[in-house]
Amino acid sequence: MRFFLTRPLLPGFWPSFTVSLIYLHAVILIPLLVLLWHAADLGWAQYWAAISDPRVVASYRVTLAGAALSTAAVTLIGLLLAWVLSRYEFPGRRLLDALIDLPFALPTAVAGLTLATLLAPGGWIGQLFAPWGIKISYAFPGLVIAMIFTSIPFIVRTVQPVIEDLGQDVEEAARTLGARPAQIFWRVILPALTPALLAGASQAFIRSLGEFGAVVMIAGNIPFKTEITSLMIFVRLQEFDYAAAAAIASVVLITSLVLLFGLQLLQGRLLRWQRGS
């Protein structure tokens, strides 16, 4: 095999592979197996009762709706931010580029508390909407905004390198052939960015499914209205019903894995289609 014939910069294949496997088992596989082991303590009837409780089902709907709306928003906003950061020079560009990673560095509970304060009816931003009866904090819109805040870096950091590598020569070639700006975007730029957009959107969606700290601080946690699935897991843990909490967590886990692998397959097909064309 090739890795035996070339001189590696890092330690040999087997030491590197062994360390990778140890990390994979210790950080990912073993915790997942423990989760499934707790869920297996329930019989099928008890498992179904735990995951199909009306309050839990309502949390599925709220979480999926919030994640879908936030992912649609961050895909558009993130694409625009990545385009601006990659194609334009302006004062404060480096600061804006650094702020994109703020949700990674800031504890999500702090982010949620800050957003709740700003968007509350008496907050700096919330008071602008209060006269029209629009409630953001402690309502569904606040939940979506919290998910947008925590997931937007996934889009920007996935699409930005692709835009930088794309270059402007492709656009100039299309322009010399008589293509209009809209045609250049839809037929030249967007197809090249689609695999990266799908990858970033899938990561943002899965992050939103599992978000907890930022959402619970701003959503109000009203049963059947703004309760998310992560909160229901926390509620079951507070009730010392660990098996039910593991059962609900397994639903989130399976959903995330199915979405992740499904979108990876779709992304791979798009890449092969682009290479073939």
pTM: 0.81
Domains of the chain: 58-228 (1.10.3720.10)
Instruction: Report CA torsion sign: 111, 264, 228, 251.
Output: negative
Question: What pLDDT, on a 0 to 100 scale, did the predictor assign at position 262?
Answer: 79
| DSSP-assigned states of every residue in 96-108 | HHHHTTHHHHS-H
- pLDDT by residue (tens digit) across 94-125? 999 988 988 888 888 888 888 888 898 888 88
- pLDDT by residue (tens digit) across 186-221? 888 888 888 889 889 988 998 898 888 889 888 888
Q: What is the radius of gyration, based on Cα positions, of the chain?
A: 22
Task: Tell me the C-alpha distance between 140 and 70, whole Å.
Answer: 11
Task: Tell me the C-alpha distance between 95 and 99, whole Å.
Answer: 6
